[in-house]
């Protein structure tokens, strides 16, 4: 890990001579000054006034033609954590890193650490994505996996099929019941999350075993000029038999969001609920109290936010919201956040 940052810099500096014809060196810095009542929702699980790193990153991605209609594509990305005091000894972390091959008529197949199709089916429905008010505080399903395969079909009439498969031998020892799960995901999408081909985006996805859940997810987003509305509904069932109270952790969650663009401003609002006991806040509750949690926590959320673009690359953003944890008020959390993001 100590030599990896040097490798990234060498790739960036030498890119013109060693990389494919089409490549991009990119990055993002995103920090928030956040106040949290309990710390149950913050990235680092800390209460009070904290500086949060909203997944700052550095990477290279590109492609190279192999033959007519066939190309190699790749991405090497690391999380940049050096600005956080508790990451002093580990200033870089793993993010999407993969190699793949794509054919115009048959689709693409990639190998490595990839955002799985169940996660990506959400589109941009989570108006608070990347921040402490994001939907994974409510329900699971968005973990990125290494040692995985991903296939995506060509698009047909705006429809696309995606399949992710986890090589479980890299994760689970012999005797671990999770080896016997499917450890795959399937998703079908219509349109695209940036609304380039349609003002409507739809997705249906299924996950069997990955992130220790069996889950179904449905997503609807619709754009009407400057207003974008969206809903994501998910049924989640915990299938890790070694987890605390795993038999009880089964339920429904949802988020509903609205975004409105006005000049350089983007205004956001979101509400959500989950009673499956599979999200970040529920997992932190079970870890803290164990078998003292006799009923699956019901977690509800509201959030509002605004972004202001200073330029194409820079923006200021602010978020305000609350999580309510039924039966466990000590895990309720109020988030107030002011942040700055810069892309290059």
Q: What is the pTM of this model?
A: 0.90
Count of CB atoms situated within 10 Å of the CB of 50 = 19
pLDDT at 17 (0 to 100): 42
Would the pLDDT of 14 be above 90?
no
**Cβ 237 vs Cβ 215: under 8 Å:** yes
Chain position carrying tokens 């350089």: 264
Would the pLDDT of 10 be above 90?
no
What does each C-alpha distance from 182 to 177, 212, 214 come to in angstroms? 11, 11, 9
pLDDT at 13 (0 to 100): 47
Please choose, from the candidates 323, 344, 318, the residue with its C-alpha nearest in 3D space to the C-alpha of residue 333. 323
Any idea of the CA torsion for 215, 122, 164, 12, to the nearest 10 degrees? -140
Beta strands, E only, 172-239: 184-190, 200-208, 213-224, 227-238
pLDDT at 20 (0 to 100): 44
> What confidence category does residue 84 fall into, taking pLDDT thresholds of 50, 70 and 90?
confident
What Rg value do the Cα atoms of the chain yield, rounded? 20
Give one DSSP letter per residue of 269-283, joined into a string: EEEEEE-SS-SHHHH
**Cβ 197 vs Cβ 158: under 8 Å:** yes
Q: Give the tens place of pLDDT for each residue, 46-69.
A: 999 999 999 999 999 999 999 889
- Two structure tokens written together for 220: 């609807």
Query: Average of pLDDT values for 62-86?
Result: 92
Would the pLDDT of 79 be above 60?
yes
Work out the end-to-end distance of the chain between its first and last CA atoms, rounded to an integer number of angstroms: 24
- The most distant pair of C-alpha atoms in the chain lies apart, rounded to whole Å, by 62
pLDDT at 2 (0 to 100): 44
- Two structure tokens written together for 28: 């993002």
Would the pLDDT of 15 be above 70?
no
Query: Average of pLDDT values for 179-193?
Result: 96
Cβ-in-10-Å burial (0-12, 13-18, 19+) of 193 comes to: middle
Would the pLDDT of 87 be above 50?
yes
């Amino acid at each position: 890990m100590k030599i990896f940052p040097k490798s990234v810099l060498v790739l960036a500096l030498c890119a013109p001579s060693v990389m494919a014809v089409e490549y991009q060196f990119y990055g993002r810095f995103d920090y928030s000054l956040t106040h949290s009542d309990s710390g149950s929702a913050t990235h680092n699980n800390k209460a009070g006034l904290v500086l949060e790193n909203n997944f700052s990153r550095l990477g290279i991605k590109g492609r190279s033609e192999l033959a007519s209609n066939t190309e190699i594509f790749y991405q090497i990305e690391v999380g940049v954590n050096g600005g956080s005091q508790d990451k002093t000894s580990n200033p870089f972390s793993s993010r999407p890193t993969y190699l793949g091959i794509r054919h115009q008529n048959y689709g693409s197949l990639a190998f490595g650490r990839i955002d799985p199709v169940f996660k990506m089916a959400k589109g941009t429905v989570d108006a608070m994505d990347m921040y402490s008010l994001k939907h994974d505080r409510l329900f699971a399903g968005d973990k990125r996996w290494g040692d995985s395969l991903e296939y995506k079909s060509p698009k047909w009439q705006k429809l696309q099929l995606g399949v992710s498969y986890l090589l479980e031998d890299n994760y689970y020892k012999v005797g671990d019941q999770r080896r016997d799960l499917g450890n795959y995901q399937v998703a079908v999408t219509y349109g695209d999350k940036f609304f380039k081909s349609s003002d409507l985006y739809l997705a249906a996805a299924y996950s069997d075993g990955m992130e220790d859940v069996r889950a179904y997810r449905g997503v609807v987003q619709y754009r009407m000029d400057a207003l974008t509305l969206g809903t994501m509904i998910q049924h989640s069932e915990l299938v890790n038999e070694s987890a605390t109270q795993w038999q009880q952790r089964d339920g429904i969650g949802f988020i509903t969001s609205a975004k409105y663009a006005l000049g350089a401003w983007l205004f956001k609002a979101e509400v959500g609920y989950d009673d499956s006991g599979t999200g970040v806040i529920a997992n932190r509750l079970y870890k803290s109290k164990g078998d003292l949690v006799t009923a699956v926590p019901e977690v509800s959320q509201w959030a509002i936010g605004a972004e202001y673009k200073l330029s194409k690359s820079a923006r200021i953003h602010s978020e305000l919201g609350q999580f309510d944890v039924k039966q466990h008020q000590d895990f309720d959390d109020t988030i107030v956040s002011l942040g700055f993001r810069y892309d290059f």
